[in-house]
Copies of this chain bind each other. A is one copy, B any other.
Amino acid sequence: MTSHRPTSQPDSTDQPFASASGKAGSGKGVQRQDEIYRAISDAVIEHRLKPGARLREDALAEVFGISRTGIRKVLQRLALEQLVTLTPGKGASVTRPSAEEAREVFEARRLVESGLLAMLTRRITADELKELRALAGEEQQALQEHEQSVAIKLSAAFHNRLAALAGNQTLARFVDQLCSRSSLILAVYGHAGNLGCECSDHNQLVDLLQAGESEQAAIFMCRHLDSIEASLSIDDAPEEAPDLRDIFSAYQ
């Protein structure tokens, strides 16, 4: 009964946006898989799927109305971006970043994002500044309305857009990945009500950009990321491998 499709009944009702015919169809297929990728990715970034959550292929295949083949492709992609971890013989689960990984991600972001800001001050336009301000505003509003998952996504969107505007897609994609992983790190090491980014930081950053203070903006970005990292409680092995021998050594 593992069959993910009743075969006697079309499942168009299961997933209203499932690729109509249910059979092959290459052109649309990749598009569909892209949707699924984004769906899972968003769920992870918005903390609807928490680190450690198992992602069974059969279950996902049934939910999205495609076969395991397509799901595996999506999972592999997510694994290469380190959003999910693929343990051989065990399956996929949402990545639970290690403390070391967290340190690395923020170090990388400081290096890359501050560098991007320097490039950005030379080429940004008034319209783009306005767009960034709008994003920062939306984020702040979501935060005030306690829409945490929306705020998390908008915060990442701000950083992403910043990277994209610097005119280097390669770096922008890297920043995208780092932002996604940051969201995972926040999920593991962040405190409950803490979004990571301070409310007003992004607006101040836009101010510096507008003033053309590239040095100051870069420094501010480093501080911004530092403060996020500092707000985390990163202890080396929080829960992932409770060493009972060590914990109960007094009773042995």
Contact = CB atoms under 8 A, between A and B. Distances in A.
Contacts of A119: 107
Contacts of A178: 170
A89 B108 CA distance: 37
A76 interface: yes
Contact of A115 (B76, B115, B169): B115
Given A26-B89, A30-B88, A89-B26, A111 B171 contact: yes
A171 B107 contact: yes
A250 interface: no
A80 interface: yes
A160 B80 CA distance: 19
Contact of A80 (B80, B105, B115): B80
Interface of A: 26-27, 30, 73, 76-77, 80-81, 88-89, 101, 104-105, 107-108, 111-112, 115-116, 119, 168-171, 174, 178
How many protomers of this protein does the assembly include?
2
A225 to B, nearest CB: 14
A46 to B, nearest CB: 22
30 contacts: A26-B88, A26-B89, A27-B88, A27-B89, A30-B88, A73-B76, A76-B76, A77-B80, A80-B80, A80-B81, A101-B170, A104-B168, A104-B169, A104-B171, A105-B170, A107-B119, A107-B168, A107-B170, A107-B171, A108-B168, A108-B170, A108-B171, A108-B174, A111-B111, A111-B112, A111-B115, A111-B116, A111-B171, A115-B115, A174-B174
A115 B178 CA distance: 17
A37 to B, nearest CB: 11
